[in-house]
Amino acid sequence: MNARDRLAVYLVGQFVAVTVLATLVGAMLGRFPFGGPLTRPVATTIPTWLAMRTLEAVGVLVLLGYVGAIAAVLLGGRSLVGRARYRSAVAITTLSLPCLVLLLVAGWVVVGARLGQLLAVTALVGGVGLLALVVAVTLGLLGGDRSGDAGVGDRSDDRSAGSGDGSGRDTAPLVVAALVCLGVLVGVVGVAGGADALVEERDRFGVPQAAFETTYEPVNETHGVLTVRHDGGDAIPRTELYVRGRASRPSTASTRPRRGRGPETRAGRTPVRGSDRTTRRPSASVPTARSTSSTSAPGTTPRRRRSTPTTVRPARTERPPGIGQSTNSTPVTSKQTPPSTPSVTATVQPWAVAISRTMARPNPVPSRSVV
């Protein structure tokens, strides 16, 4: 192999290695092949945090790599080969992703979601590598056909590319194909058979762990929207999830808080509903998520805050009435209405004392190790 072939084999091998390792780590994190892609584990240790962030970066890079491959073929392919080969390479590169998506959707429909995810892993590991191989062979970057390289391109590149011994010119595509097949084999075997054993399975009847994210979006000076979102961790049955807290009701008589006591509050629970957003108006009978109206100077701008991962407490036997249907990763929104009197200069700052307390029974669904 000459210098160009060696670099091509190296790049393909590196890409396959990254993809296979990312697939295995994704399987360990519970995303592949049978996990919920939207459910993230709670990062409590450095390796877990590293795995999550690296996996996200790999996902972004794969998408950017596809766009970069199209750009590279469009910009650099013409200088390497003739017009017919150039058009073929552009067509292959451009149509590869839509065809892959169609195949995945068709496989998803035919074999179901679970096997569809496994097919997605296989296509991710092998499809991109095979695409690179086909495009490289079409452009004449691999193998013995160098007719397209003559007289074009960088002279130094051509000189170095032709400096090989010439005895193994046809071995590069074979090596690339072997790497792709090996990557597919390791990925499929690892995901289907072994990656689950690399993490500890928690007791299925143990305490579920989850993380919640709270964001506050001010509507005006007097009210806003508090969103509590299941940001990661175990899936929680919708029937076991609700938000409990206190909703304050500032005094309507004065703009200042009474000496020695804060704003009036009332406690209660809000069921989590099945829709993406649940809007609740505070009333005497139906309290909202915990949000306290702290009396402040006029014009105070509510801040936003992102909460840290919250551990789901052990289950309680009681279930509040009216628990609705909630999806496991449904954002829950509690909307505070403005005070009845405009003279009250109260700013709702639910984030200040917001505690999304979730009562969850042991997850009936076998869950992965999340702490």
Partner 1 sequence: MLFATDCGPVSCAVARALVSAVALGVFAASEFVGYRFASDLFPDNPFKRRGTLAYLTVMNCLLAPLLGVVLYALFP
Q: At closest approach, how far in Å is the CB of 27 from partner 1?
A: 10
Q: Please check whether residue 134 is in contact with residue 93, taking contact to mean a CB–CB distance below 8 angstroms.
A: no
Q: Which residues does residue 346 pair with via DSSP β-bridges, in sequence order?
A: 295
Of 112 and 194, the one with the shorter C-beta distance to partner 1 is 194
Of 2 and 326, the one with the shorter C-beta distance to partner 1 is 2
**DSSP letter for each residue of 257-324:** PPTT---EEEEEEEEPPSSS-------SSS--SSB-EEE--TTPPPP---PPP-PPBPP-S---TT--
d(CA 64, CA 155): 29
Q: At closest approach, how far in Å is the CB of 104 from partner 1?
A: 23
Of 47 and 364, the one with the shorter C-beta distance to partner 1 is 47
Q: Please check whether residue 236 is in contact with residue 230, taking contact to mean a CB–CB distance below 8 angstroms.
A: yes
Of 150 and 197, the one with the shorter C-beta distance to partner 1 is 197
Q: At closest approach, how far in Å is the CB of 231 from partner 1?
A: 15
Q: Which residues bind partner 1 (CB under 8 A)?
A: 3-4, 6-7, 10-11, 14-15, 17-18, 21-22, 24-25, 28-30, 41-42, 45-48, 50-51, 54-55, 57-58, 61, 154, 156-157, 160-161, 163, 197-200, 202, 368-371
* Burial of 74 per CB tally in 10 Å (0-12, 13-18, 19+): middle
d(CA 196, CA 203): 15
Of 3 and 286, the one with the shorter C-beta distance to partner 1 is 3
Output DSSP code: residue 190: I
Q: At closest approach, how far in Å is the CB of 144 from partner 1?
A: 17
Of 51 and 359, the one with the shorter C-beta distance to partner 1 is 51
Q: At closest approach, how far in Å is the CB of 369 from partner 1?
A: 5
d(CA 126, CA 102): 16
**DSSP letter for each residue of 218-263:** ESSSS-EEEEEEEEEES---GGG-EEEEEEEE--SS-SSPPTT---
Of 92 and 371, the one with the shorter C-beta distance to partner 1 is 371
Q: At closest approach, how far in Å is the CB of 265 from partner 1?
A: 38
Kindly state the tokens that stand for 319.
């279930």
Q: Please check whether residue 172 is in contact with residue 7, taking contact to mean a CB–CB distance below 8 angstroms.
A: no
Of 147 and 160, the one with the shorter C-beta distance to partner 1 is 160
Q: At closest approach, how far in Å is the CB of 364 from partner 1?
A: 20
Q: At closest approach, how far in Å is the CB of 43 from partner 1?
A: 8
Of 4 and 273, the one with the shorter C-beta distance to partner 1 is 4
* Burial of 153 per CB tally in 10 Å (0-12, 13-18, 19+): middle
* Burial of 150 per CB tally in 10 Å (0-12, 13-18, 19+): exposed
Of 116 and 143, the one with the shorter C-beta distance to partner 1 is 143
Q: At closest approach, how far in Å is the CB of 325 from partner 1?
A: 28
Q: At closest approach, how far in Å is the CB of 287 from partner 1?
A: 35
User: What angle in degrees, to the nearest 10, is found between the helix axes of 83-111 and 113-122?
Assistant: 150
End-to-end CA distance of the chain: 49
